[in-house]
Amino acid sequence: MNVNHNAALEVHHLPGLEHRTLAGARDGLKSFEVWRQTIAPHAATPVHRHDCEEVIVIFSGEGVCHVEGREHTFKADDTLVIPANVVHQICNTGDTDLNIMATLAMSPVQVETGEGTPLPLPWDHRPA
């Protein structure tokens, strides 16, 4: 049993994106991870995919999720449900931060670019 104090967790950065892994492989989880991310205004995640389902809860902000050539708009208090192996990108279309929490059905999450090249993440914690 762990109690993770979220404000004390390590913060990682990609351009326009701040990330905290709330729970995952470092906690001994083997089947899912929970992430908290803030995406800056007009920034986006990389185009990517992973071999697991993902559920994203939108706490604040607005944006679009690009999935297989389609654009899905969302706003605060919406939930995105993304199937495994679907190429997608989350984009903040607003003028304020986009705050989300994602649960992914894999730990550690192995991410690839849209073309299938491994995409290492600065927060990837693989067990030794």
Q: What is the CATH number of the domain that holds 89?
A: 2.60.120.10
SS (H, E, C) 23-60: ECHHHCCCCCEEEEEEECCCCECCCEEECCCEEEEEEE
* Range(s) of the domain holding residue 91: 32-113
In a domain, 107, yes or no: yes
| pLDDT at residue 123 tops 90 | no
In a domain, 79, yes or no: yes
In a domain, 95, yes or no: yes
H or E element in which residue 15 lies? none
In a domain, 27, yes or no: no
Read off the tokens for 121.
């993440």
In a domain, 18, yes or no: no
Band (122; pLDDT cuts 50, 70, 90): confident
In a domain, 20, yes or no: no
**Tens digit of each residue's pLDDT (9 = 90 or more) over 47-64:** 999 999 999 999 999 999
Give the total residue count for the chain. Answer: 128
pTM: 0.93
- Looking at the 3D structure of the chain, how many domains does it have? 1
- Cα–Cα distances in Å, from 39 out to 16, 26, 27, 59, 60? 6, 24, 25, 12, 10
Nearest to 35 by CA among 50, 57, 52: 57
Q: What are phi and psi of 25, to 5 degrees?
A: -55, -35
Which region among 50-64, 73-87, 109-123 has the lowest average model confidence (pLDDT)? 109-123
In a domain, 51, yes or no: yes
The pLDDT assigned to 124 comes to 77
